[in-house]
Structure 1
Amino acid sequence: MAKKLMRGSHVLGEAAVRAGCRYYFGYPITPQNEVPEYMSGRLLEVGGTFVQAESELASINMVIGASMAGGRVMTSSSSPGISLKQEGISYLAGLELPAVIANMVRGGPGLGNIAPAQSDYFQATRGGGHGDYRCIVLAPASCQELCDMTIRAFDLADKYRNPVLILGDGMMGQMMEPVNFPEPLDPAALPKKDWTLSGAKGRPPRALLSLLLNPKILEEHNYKLVRKYDAVVQNEIDWESYMTEDARLVLVAYGTAARIAKGAIARVRELGMKVGLLRPKTLWPFPKPALLELTKVVRHLLVIELSAGQMVEDVELAVKGQAEVNFYGRPGGVVPTPEEVAHQITHYYYRAHLDQDGPASARREA
C-alpha cells in the first residue's frame, strides 16, 4: 500500500477513523486545531458524528455519553484544554469507560505559549484528576507511530475499559511525514460490548454508576481498578532500545526529544563515543524493568526532556540507585538542536568514562 504524506494532526484523525472511531467531540485550541478540522470532514464521509462543543468540559462529557452507548470515541486538545477535561477523565476511569484522548502538548504553565513541550508528563502519567486511577499513556515519536499508536489506543481502551492518552506535542502535530495506513476497520466487526447502556428492551435495565457513597463498596471498586492496572503493567509495557549494546552512557527520552537525541547520538558516535538510547513508548506503564536491567551494564544515564524535568523522576525510581541519573531539559517550548544535546552528551560521557568503576550515586543536574 502506498504511503501518504500527511501532517501529524491529520494522521491522528485518519488513524482514529480507520480504527473504527465514529464519534469526536472537542473544542478548539492551538496547536491541535488541525485534529478537529480534519475530523469535521472525515467523520461525515463515514457516517460518524462530529461536534464542536461549547467548551472542553462539555466535550469530555459528550465523550462519556458516547462511550456509555458503546461507540469508539475520541477527543483531543492541548495542555490547558486537557486540564479542563480532567474531571471527566476521572469519571471515565471510575466508570470503566473506554476513550482515547490526544494531547498535543504546548509550553506552560498557565496559558504559556503554542510551542512544543513535554511539560504535561506528570499530568498524563499520574492520572491527572481526582481519585485513585491511571490512564494508559502512549508516546509516539513519528507520524507513523502516531498512526500505529492511535489504532493501538482504541484497542487498549476497549480491552481494559479505560481511558488511553496519546501524548504528542505541537511539533509532532505540525510536521509532515509519509505514513502507511492499514485498511479501515468496520465498526460493526468489533467485539460486542455487553456492558453498554443500549436500552432495556428484551433484558433487565442496567446502570453505570460513578457515585458510590458506601466507603466499603468504593474501596472494593478501587481494588478492582488496581487489579486491572496491575494487568496493564504486566502486559502492555513498550520501549525501544537504540545502540545500547556497547553503550557506556545511555540517554532516556521519549517523543520529539527522542528524535533529537538520536540525531545527537549519530554525531557523538562519529567521535567514538559509545552512547545509546532507551525510548519509552508507553509512559504509563513506564518501562522500569528495562531500565533496571540496563543498569547491570550501564552506570550512567542522561535524561533528555522538553521540560524542567518530570520523567527524570520515573527514571530515578526505576534504577533504584544502581546508576547515576543526570538531566538536561529545555522548558517553556524551547526545542534544543541535536548539536546542543551532543554538547551535553560530551560533558557527561567523559565523566562516565572516567567514573565507570566508581559509585553509582543518583544525582540530577539541570
Structure 2
Amino acid sequence: MSAAHAENAPGRVLIKGNEAVAFGAVDAGCRCYFGYPITPQNEIPETLSWLLPENGGQFVQAESEVAASNMLLGAAACGIPAMTSSSGCGISLMQEAISYMAGSRIPGVIVNMQRGGPGLGDIGPSQGDYFQAVKGGGHGDHRNLALAPATAQECYDFMFRAFALAFRYANPVMVLGDAMVGQIKEPVRRVPPAGALRPDQIRALAADWRLEGYGARGRDAAPRLLKSVYLAEGALAERNRMLMRSYEAMRAETVWEQSDVDDAQLVVVAFGSMARIARSAIRHLRGQGHKLGLFRPVTLYPFPDEALRALAPGRRFLVIEQNIGQMVEDVRLALNGTAETRWHGVMPGLFIGAEELVDPMLQALKEK
C-alpha cells in the first residue's frame, strides 16, 4: 500500500521506514518540518509535504541544510514541535545550528537516515555517523539524545519518544537510522505506543520558556531570552555546569534490548539494522547448539553501559557495526577491561544477509 493510502487505512499499513517516520512525527504532534532532499531519506519530506498541511502544519523545503536547521531552531524556540531530516553530509551542515540549540536549550528532532561515507560516499547503508550522533558532532560540550530504530514500526514509535525527550530536556534529539531502516517496507501499526505523551502534553512542557512576544496573553510582559552566548565572567562555566546536570539526568532515559543472554558464552552487541541481521544469525547458530546472545542499545546516548557491564562476568563480546569501528569504543569503555571484546565491521555501502555474520560469530566464539 502506498503512503498516499496509509493515512486513513485501518489497522496495519505497508509502508517504508521513512514514511513511518513521517506518520509518527505528525501523530506525535509535529507541526513544522524544514528540510532539503538527499537520498536515502527523501520519502520523509515527500510524505510530510502533503501530510503536514492536511493536519494543520507547515512544510518548508529550505534552500539548504544550513537553512533548514536554523529554521528548526526558530520554530522550536516558539515551543512548536518541529523537525528536520537528512543524511550523512547533510547532517554535517546542520551541526552549527544543532550546537546552538543545545547551548540555548531549545528542543528539536533531527532524523538521520545514514548513507555511506566519508565525503559524498554512496547512497547505500552505513552506520558511520555514530560518532557524529553520540559525541555531539558540532562544536562545544553539547550532547544529543540519540535513538536507533531497527524496524519500520520503531521508526513510527520512536518519533513519539523523540519529541517527548526533546521537550522534557529542552535538547536536540537525533533519530539515527540508515538506508536499510529507511527503505525497508514493512507492516506498521499506526497507533501511539503505550505511555506516549499526547501532543498537548508535549507542547505544555514549553510553557515556561517558549518565545511568545511582549504582552503575551496569560502571562506578564517580561521578555524571555533564549541564547547560547555567555560573555560575562563565569557565565559560560555556570551554563555548562547546568548542561552537564541535564546530560546526567538523561541517563534515566537509557533503553536497551537483550535476548538469549542468560546462557550466552558470547554476547553480540549491535544496533539498528545490524542488530536485526545479527539476531537472525544468532537464532540460526543457537539452533545448532551454540550459546550466543544479543545486546542491542536502543538509546545510543545515553549509552546503556551499566546494563552491558552487568553481563560481563564469564562472557566475551563481539561488536558488529557497519563502519570501520565506532560503537566498539563505547562498548570497551563500558566494560572497562572486565571482558574480552572483539569487533567485526561490515563496510559501508554493502547490503548483507545473516549468513555473512555466521562465520565471524563462530570465529569469535571459538577463539581463546
Alpha-carbon distance in structure 2 between the residues aligned to 1:8 and 1:31: 11
**Superposed structure 1 runs of 4+ greater than 6 Å apart:** none
SS in 2 for 1:231: helix
Whether 2:216 is the aligned partner of 1:207: answer no
Q: How far apart, CA to CA, are the structure 2 residues paired with 1:315 and 1:336?
A: 23
SS in structure 2 opposite 1:303? strand
CA distance in 1, matches of 2:175, 2:28: 14
**Contact 1:93–1:162, Cα closer than 8 Å, also in 2:** yes
Aligned residue number for residue 6 of structure 2:
none
**2:336 is matched with which residue: 320, 338, 352?**
320
Q: Secondary structure at the match of 2:39?
A: coil
SS at match of 2:127: coil
**For residue 4 of structure 2, what is the aligned residue in structure 1?**
none
1:306–1:335 contact (8 Å) kept in structure 2:
no
| Alpha-carbon spacing, 1:156–1:185, altered in 2? closer, same or farther (3 Å) | closer
Question: When the two structures are superposed, what TM-score results if normalisation uses the length of structure 2?
Answer: 0.93
Give the match for residue 31 of structure 1. Answer: 40
Alignment partner of 1:209: what SS?
coil
Q: Which residue of 1 aligns with 2:354?
A: 338
1:67-82 matched pairs, under 5 angstroms:
67-82=76-91
Percent identity of the aligned residues?
Answer: 50
Shift of 1:227: 0.2
Distance 1:181 1:221 in 2: 40
Separation (CA, whole Å) in 1 of partners of 2:83 and 2:356: 37
Give, in whole Å, the separation in 1 of the partners of 2:224 and 2:328: 44
Residue 95 in structure 1 maps to residue 109 in structure 2: no
Equivalent residue of 1:150, what SS? helix
For 2:190 and 2:207, the matched residues in 1 are separated by: 26
Amino acid at match of 2:260: M
Rounded to whole Å, the distance in 1 between the matches of 2:197 and 2:244 is 31
Secondary structure of the 1:227 match is helix
Distance 1:78 1:304, change over 3 A: same
Which residue number corresponds to residue 49 of structure 1? Answer: 58
For 2:363, which of 339, 343, 347 is the aligned residue? Answer: 347
Deviation, 1:119, is 0.3
Residue in structure 2 matched with residue 267 of structure 1 by the alignment: 284
Q: Report the Cα distance in structure 1 between the residues aligned to 2:258 and 2:322, rounded to whole angstroms.
A: 20
Q: Which amino acid aligns with 1:225?
A: L
Correspondence for 1:360: none
Give the letter aligned to residue 122 of structure 2: N
Alignment CA distance shift 1:166-1:218 (3 Å):
same
Counterpart for residue 270 of structure 2? 253
Corresponding residue of 1:228: 246
Structure 2: which amino acid aligns with 1:168?
Answer: G
Gapped regions of structure 2 (runs ≥ 5): 1-9
- Contact 2:127/2:348 (8 A) holds in 1: no
Select 1:146's aligned residue among 125, 141, 155.
155
Which of 277, 283, 295 pairs up with 1:278?
Answer: 295
Over residues 4-33 of structure 1, what are the superposed CA-to-partner deviations in whole Å (9 max), with x where a residue is unaligned? 111110100000000000000000111111
CA-atom RMSD, angstroms?
1.4
- Measure how far apart 1:47 and its partner are: 1.2
TM-score normalised to structure 1 length: 0.93
Matches of 1:267 and 1:188, distance apart in 2: 46
Cα deviation 1:47-69 (Å, max 9, x = unaligned): 10100000000000000100111
Quote how far apart the aligned CAs of 1:334 are: 1.5
Q: Could you give the per-residue CA deviations for residues 100-158 of structure 1, whole angstroms, max 9, x where no partner exists?
A: 00000000000000001000000000000000110000011111111111110000000
Match of 2:235 among 213, 217, 228: 217
For 2:279, give the aligned amino acid: K
Q: Provide the rounded CA distance (Å) in 2 between the counterparts of 1:328 and 1:206.
A: 50
Residue number in structure 2 paired with 1:363: none
Moved more, 200-209 or 267-276: 200-209
Q: Distance in 2 between matches of 1:182 and 1:240?
A: 22
**Superposition deviation, residue 331 in structure 1:** 2.0
1:196 maps to a residue whose letter is: R
Task: After TM superposition, give the deviation of residue 185 of structure 1 in Å.
Answer: 7.8
Aligned-partner residue type, residue 126 of structure 2: A
Q: CA deviation at 1:186?
A: 6.5
- Pick aligned residue for 1:242 from 240, 259, 262: 259
- Is the contact made by 1:25 and 1:51 (CA closer than 8 Å) also made in structure 2? yes
Secondary structure (helix, strand or coil) at the match of 2:234 reads helix
Identify unmatched segments of 5+ residues in structure 1.
356-366
